[in-house]
């Protein structure tokens, strides 16, 4: 019979496991933030192009990341069952699927310009974004492999190394951007192309570091021994869990990507303001995402032990922690909007007043969706830990695509609210997802885990 952990015990455990994961996500966010700030210094047009290109890249990346994310609950459950063979098998097939997916997606990154033009982006912005993607696209291979290996390590509660590898990557990215965008440290001035090269270099450094650690610290799993040998049974298991996870993530990220497309219809300045506001909102979302990862790991462990009491108390604790973060973020965004937005621009930029005006309004909308954004990602983390992915995928797709995107278009363009209207649609889509996914977890999924101990 499992011992019931108290709420303070859950709080301590989530904090110890979660802080490095949150730090790792923030360090990962810092990589994108560095690109945004430095390109904002370089020029508004460059910032608009890379905002568009990054949205395009991450739509493809985050769908493929579903295979890496599937590895996390599978390894966590196998670890609770002390099944080291399943740990190795699931991680290895996650790596296989990541490589296959990146190979299939590479043409969409190489020939992105006509796709962006078809999405009615300004020709010059689309051309510059395509130049970026032709180089940055190669980073899809190491990025997906890193995602899988980080999920493997996090599921084994080796979160400190996940943090430090990401911190090193952020430093490498900052230095390489500084050199190649502006032509510093004896390097050529490459602008947008320099940011793309820096992105690929950063991802390769991350991959080398995480592979070395996995091989040296966990030799008993022999992840890369006879790596070429197929394991079709586990391949299909990871595929079955990874595809709905990837599609769920795709549904959410495409909501934001299409919002970037809509903002692009309004012009480069609104698109640049959108990029700044979205980067600020993303910083706080990284905290919720780290807590969501903890929810996945601990729910996976509870599933392996068939311990419903552990699952329920842990879920209540992690949801409460996310709520506190949301309230603090709302206060920050509503009281410090202008100083935060100013971090992304030169003081004498002629377009600064217009970007500040638009960005302040968008950040107020970002404050509105903090509560629902945090709730939906925590619910997804808990459901993934229980390997419940298919129905949540449908719920997410309905919320983001049937409600969020049409609402963004309606309020932004039919009602003439422009950027504020586009972001209002985001709020509605996320709110619907939060209600549906939380209901799914508490009314059904949690009840399928073993009985509560006396």
The DSSP symbol for 434 reads: H
**pTM, full prediction:** 0.82
Q: How far apart are CA 405 and CA 142, in angstroms?
A: 31
Three-state SS for 225-262 is CCCCCCCHHHHHHHHHHHHHHHHHHHHHHHHHHHHHHH
Q: What is the dihedral of CA 158, 164, 167, 169, to 10 degrees?
A: -90
What is the C-alpha to C-alpha distance for residues 47 and 34, in angstroms, rounded to an integer?
11
pLDDT in tens, the chain (454 residues): 456 688 888 999 899 988 898 888 787 777 777 777 787 777 777 777 887 888 788 788 888 999 999 999 999 999 988 898 999 999 999 999 999 999 999 999 999 888 888 877 788 888 888 888 999 889 999 999 999 999 999 999 898 898 899 889 889 988 998 898 888 888 888 888 888 899 899 989 999 999 999 999 998 888 888 888 889 999 999 999 999 999 998 888 778 878 888 888 888 888 888 888 887 888 888 899 999 999 999 999 888 888 888 899 999 999 999 999 999 999 998 888 888 888 777 676 677 788 888 888 888 888 888 889 999 999 999 999 999 999 999 999 999 999 999 999 999 999 989 889 999 998 999 999 999 999 999 988 777 776 544 3
Nearest to 227 by CA among 392, 361, 94: 94
Alpha-helical regions (H) of 350-447: 352-368, 370-385, 390-397, 405-409, 418-443
- What is the number of residues in the chain? 454
Cα dist. 315→37, 73, 151, 299, 441 in Å?
Answer: 36, 15, 20, 8, 10
Q: Which helix (H) or strand (E) holds 404?
A: none
Query: What pLDDT does residue 268 have?
Result: 82
Is 381 exposed, middle or buried, given 0-12, 13-18 or 19+ CB atoms closer than 10 A?
A: buried
So what's the pLDDT on residue 346? 67
pLDDT value at residue 90: 94
Q: What is the DSSP string of 291-344?
A: HHHHHHHHHHHHHHHT-HHHHHHHHHHHHHHHHHHHHHHHHHHHHSHHHHHHTT
Residues 6+ apart with CB under 8 A from 298: 13, 14, 17, 76, 310, 311, 314, 318, 385
Report how far residue 33's alpha carbon sits from residue 259's, in angstroms, rounded to the nearest whole number: 19
* Gap between the terminal Cα atoms of the chain: 9
Q: Is the dihedral of CA 37, 43, 48, 49 positive or negative?
A: negative
Burial class (CB in 10 A: 0-12, 13-18, 19+), 227: exposed
Cβ neighbours of residue 119 under 8 Å, at least 6 residues apart? 261, 264
The whole-number pLDDT of residue 454 equals 33
Q: What is the pLDDT of residue 450?
A: 63
Residues whose CB falls within 8 Å of the CB of residue 1, separated by 6 or more in sequence, listed in order? 453, 454
Report d(CA 388, CA 396) in Å as an integer: 13
Instruction: Read off φ and ψ for residue 189, nearest 5 degrees.
Output: -85, 110
CA distance 270 to 264: 7
The DSSP secondary-structure symbol of 443 reads: H
CA distance 383 to 396: 12
Note the pLDDT of residue 1. Answer: 44
- Taking the C-alpha atoms of residue 305 and residue 139, their distance in angstroms, rounded to an integer, is 38
* C-alpha distances in Å from residue 94, one per residue of 2, 51, 208, 371, 398: 31, 29, 17, 32, 27
Q: What are phi and psi of 401, to 5 degrees?
A: -90, -40
The rounded Cα 132 to chain-centroid distance in angstroms is 20
Tokens of 431: 């709110």
3-state secondary structure of 164: helix
């Amino acid at each position: 019979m499992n011992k019931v952990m108290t709420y303070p015990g859950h709080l301590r455990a989530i904090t110890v496991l979660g802080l490095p994961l949150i730090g790792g996500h923030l360090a990962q966010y810092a990589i994108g933030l560095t690109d945004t700030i430095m390109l904002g210094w370089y020029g508004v047009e460059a910032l608009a192009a890379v905002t568009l290109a990054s949205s395009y890249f991450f739509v493809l990346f985050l769908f493929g990341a579903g295979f890496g994310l599937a590895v996390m609950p599978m390894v966590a459950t196998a670890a609770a069952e002390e099944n080291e063979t399943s740990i190795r098998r699931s991680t290895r097939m996650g790596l296989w699927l990541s490589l296959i997916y990146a190979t299939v997606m590479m043409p969409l990154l190489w020939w992105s310009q006509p796709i962006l033009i078809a999405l009615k982006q300004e020709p010059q912005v689309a051309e510059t974004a395509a130049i970026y993607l032709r180089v940055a696209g190669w980073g899809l291979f190491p990025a997906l492999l890193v995602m899988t290996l980080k999920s493997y390590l996090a599921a084994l509660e080796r979160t400190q190394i996940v943090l430090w590898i990401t911190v090193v990557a952020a430093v490498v990215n900052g230095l390489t951007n500084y050199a190649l965008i502006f032509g510093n440290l004896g390097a050529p001035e490459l602008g947008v192309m320099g940011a793309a090269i820096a992105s690929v270099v950063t991802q390769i450094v991350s991959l080398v570091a995480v592979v070395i650690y996995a091989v040296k610290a966990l030799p008993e799993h022999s992840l890369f021994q006879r790596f070429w040998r197929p394991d079709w049974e586990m391949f299909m298991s990871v595929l079955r869990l990874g595809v709905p996870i990837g599609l769920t993530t795709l549904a959410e990220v495409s909501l934001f990507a299409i919002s970037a497309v809509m903002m692009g219809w309004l012009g480069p300045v609104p698109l640049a303001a959108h990029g700044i506001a979205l980067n600020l909102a993303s910083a706080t979302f990284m905290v919720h995402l780290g807590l969501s990862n903890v929810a996945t790991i601990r729910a996976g462990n509870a599933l392996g032990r068939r311990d419903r009491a552990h699952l329920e108390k842990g879920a209540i604790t992690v949801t409460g922690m996310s709520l506190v973060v949301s309230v603090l973020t709302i206060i920050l965004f509503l009281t410090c909007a202008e100083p935060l937005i100013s971090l992304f621009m030169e003081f004498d930029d002629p377009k600064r007043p217009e970007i500040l005006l638009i960005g302040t309004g968008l950040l107020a909308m970002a404050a509105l969706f903090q509560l629902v954004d945090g709730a939906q990602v925590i619910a997804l983390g808990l459901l993934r830990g229980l390997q419940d992915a298919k129905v949540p995928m449908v719920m997410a797709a309905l919320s983001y695509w049937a409600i969020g995107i049409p609402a963004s278009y309606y309020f932004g363009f039919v009602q003439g609210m422009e950027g504020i209207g586009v972001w209002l649609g985001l709020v509605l889509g996320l709110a619907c997802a939060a209600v549906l996914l939380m209901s799914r977890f508490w009314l059904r999924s949690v009840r399928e885990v073993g009985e509560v101990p006396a």
